Amino acid sequence: MASRQELSDFLAGVERRAFKQAQYAVRDSDAALDIVQDAMMKLAEKYGDRPAGELPLLFTRILQNATYDFFRRQKVRSTWVTLFSALSPGHEDDNVDPLETLEAAPGSPAAESAENQVERSQIVAIIEQEVARLPTRQREAFLMRYWEDMDVAETAAVMGCSQGSVKTHCSRATHALAKALKARGIQL
Amino acid sequence: MNEKEFGYQIRQALNEAAGELDHKTTYRLEQARAAALTRHREPAAAPAWSPALQAAGRHSSEGSRLGWFGGLGLAAPAVALVVGFIAIYQWQQPQAPERISDLAAMDFAVLMDETPIRAYADKGFGILLRGETEDL
């Protein structure tokens, strides 16, 4: 069973990455912070009795679910807004799944830092933008594999898909990211 | 560049970005962590049923007190069981010789009787016996 100190150390080690991942997904810093806080609380409250070694996988799964919950709530909210705004003329129907539109929308928080004069910061910001533009499943698989250092089996377990699907997502993400960065003049 | 090398290049960039979070964000993350930790339940010092033996080696007064109560909880049902057995034994003890002697007397009377055993199974013998008793 993880002690309070172990849990605290674990959360301190993952909170920044968790925030960034949530931010790439929802494109909103405040919402991302709320998601991370929800995930932390759920982990501490419901899975605090698990061994410290199990925390990374559990937290990744909880964070993923918290992000999906955010999109579900957003969808419900947008449905109600659509219903109420249907009376006013000139409004287009925006009842769409946010997960389907993530690829097209540009990442605004990172764009601000891309305006910096420091070249490295610009490159980092562009990379963040392009990571955020990846389709959800591809981004999740790519970040779990290469940022969270999870192996294919662990990633598959968290994503609830086959190991083959994880490899496919990662491969597509890599190609899409490389192509997008090259188009923006960045060669890694 | 293969997928793995590319992935690690991206990882470096993302780590850099995560390391440059503004103060407001890091402060809120710290607060979130602190709030989460308040919901964490520390593991119990020891399960209630086990310290009867474990607590013997403990030095803290709390541990030995817990062990004492734990031991009491474990011993009480055993004591109740033993007391129950003794009570049943004591209750049966005075009745046992009487019952044994009654059975022995009955068996002895049947064996000493000259009437063959088969006669007891005969319906007519039963009627005869009842008739004799009525005549008396």
State the ipTM, two decimals: 0.72
Check: pTM over 0.95? Answer yes or no.
no
Answer yes or no: do A41 and B39 touch at CB < 8 A: yes
Q: Region B95-108: what's the mean pLDDT?
A: 78
Q: Is B11 in contact with A146 (Cβ distance < 8 A)?
A: yes
Output DSSP code: residue A116.
Answer: S
Which burial class, exposed, middle or buried, applies to B74 when counting CB atoms under 10 A from its CB (0-12, 13-18, 19+)?
middle
How far is residue A149's CA from residue A153's CA, in Å, rounded to a whole number?
12
CA B85 – CA A77 distance, rounded (Å): 70
Which residues from A are below 8 Å from B15, CB to CB?
Answer: 147
A87-104 pLDDT per residue, tens: 655 444 455 555 545 554
Residues of A with a Cβ under 8 Å from any B Cβ are: 1, 3-4, 7-8, 11-12, 15-17, 19-20, 29, 33, 36-37, 40-41, 43-45, 48-49, 110, 120-121, 123-125, 127-128, 131, 142-143, 145-147, 170-171, 174, 177-178, 188
Residue B63 has pLDDT above 60, yes or no: no
Q: Please report the sign of the dihedral spanned by the C-alpha atoms of residue A21, residue A27, residue A33, residue A34.
A: negative
Do residues A102 and A25 lie in contact, with contact meaning Cβ atoms separated by under 8 Å? yes
Q: Report angle CA A170, A55, A40 to the nearest 5 degrees.
A: 95
CA–CA distance, A49 with A7 (Å, rounded to integer): 10
Longest pairwise C-alpha distance within chain A: 58
CB A19 to CB B13 under 8 A? no
What tens digit of pLDDT does each residue of A113-132 get? Answer: 545 546 788 888 899 999 99
Which residue's structure tokens are 């540009």?
A106
Low-confidence ranges of chain A (pLDDT < 70): 85-118
Query: A43: which 2 tokens?
Result: 């982990």
